[in-house]
Structure 1
Amino acid sequence: MVFQTPEHQLLTARVRDELAVGPRAAGLGDDEIAARVDPLLDRLRLTRLAAVNPFTLSGGEKRRLTVAAALATRPRVLVLDEPTYGQDARTWRELADLIDEVRDAGTAVVFVTHDRALVDALADDELRLSGVPAEVGR
């Protein structure tokens, strides 16, 4: 799962280590972890930040990091909360393409978003909430 607020799921002091948390917990060895982590660092333009503390990243970088960390575990189901929030047009497209590829590879993807373009681009099914009382969100 990728939370709406990236800071709520960051655990380590280095970007590279953040991506390794899930694979390490799954018992993978260092070579297998690197084989998962390095392509994600490259794909989401985080390689130059690999040794940086995740809490010092920009909001968009944190969001890309948390998406990459979830993908590093190669989940069967991926739940994303506002995955494209705060991204520029280039990064939006990269994230949408990556989510599409993950889905095409057999991962079930559920996302919660206000991003109509993302829904139009990727959603097979849509559940729209409207008229929800304000106290429900508290």
Structure 2
Amino acid sequence: APPRHATTPPGDVLLTAERLGLPPRLDPTDLRVRAGEALAVLGPNGAGKSTLALLLGGLLKPGTGAVTASAELAGRDARTPPHRWRAPALVRRIGSVFQDPEHQFVTATVRDELALGPRRTGRPESAVTATVDELLHRLRLDRLAGANPYTLSGGEARRLSVATALATAPRLLICDEPTFGQDRRTWLELVDLLAELRDAGHGVVAVTHDEDFVAALADTTLTLHRSPDGVAT
């Protein structure tokens, strides 16, 4: 695939992790996520990549260290860690794509699933409909708009989980294996969508084993390892 790396320098830091960990799943880790930058998190199974994604996304309470959001990202919650933000604020600021897509579905149809986030953020219904229609088309979910999310194939569910996170255009997007199980056409569309979000000044973090995806999109990488005693480092 043609590379889609950022063509301008990254912007301000959106999120900082200092000694962030959750024993025994993740040893203390430091990183910074910047606006206009795509960061790929790499490493073997069991190294703590998915745990790191959940911690950065405000979906787990850190066991060690801290996640600090910039004033720009946190708004009125500038002194509060992301895991303590209210749900509407979190979904507007930090979007998450889970490793297991079915864990994030809460409505009865694909269309409603895509509309839920934008509605929570208070967008006009016309804007919600336009966003939903575009994502249904670009991620080839049109014919499934009325389907129950739990009846989708693995690849379809993965596309829907990415689309639901993209629907709110969060300032920071955290994805866990976003391209897993996709054919080439959809893979390319996902790269384009994430690149467009990054190029618009948003931050993107992607946990992935997909070397082609890293080569096409990542501006910087972080590799997690496992220590000899089996704990991620």
TM-score range, shorter chain: over 0.9
Q: State TM-score, norm by structure 1.
A: 0.93
Counterpart Cα distance in 2 of 1:88 and 1:133: 37
* Aligned positions of 1:16-27 closer than 5 A: 16-27=111-122
Residue deviations 1:26-65 (CA, integer Å, cap 9, x gap): 1223212102111111111111110000100111111111
**As a proportion of its length, which structure holds more strand?**
2
1:89 alignment partner in structure 2: 184
Alignment correspondent of 2:99: 4
Report deviation, 1:132.
Answer: 4.5
The count of aligned residue pairs is 137
RMSD of the TM alignment (CA)?
A: 1.5
Which structure would you say has the larger Rg? 2
Q: Which amino acid aligns with 2:201?
A: G
Residue 175 (structure 2) aligned to one of 73, 80, 86: 80
Which fold has the larger relative contact order, with Cα–Cα distance below 8 Å and residues 6 or more apart in sequence?
A: 2
Aligned to 1:37: 132
Cα 1:29/1:125, change in 2 over 3 Å: same
1:5 to 1:103, Cα distance in 2 relative to 1, 3 A: same
Aligned runs of 1:1-138 on 2, under 5 Å? 1-132=96-227, 136=231
Q: TM-score w.r.t. structure 2 length?
A: 0.56
Percent identity of equivalent pairs: 62
Distance 1:69 1:133 in 2: 38
Please, which runs of 5 or more residues in structure 1 have no aligned partner?
none
CA distance in 2 between counterparts of 1:123 and 1:11 reads 31
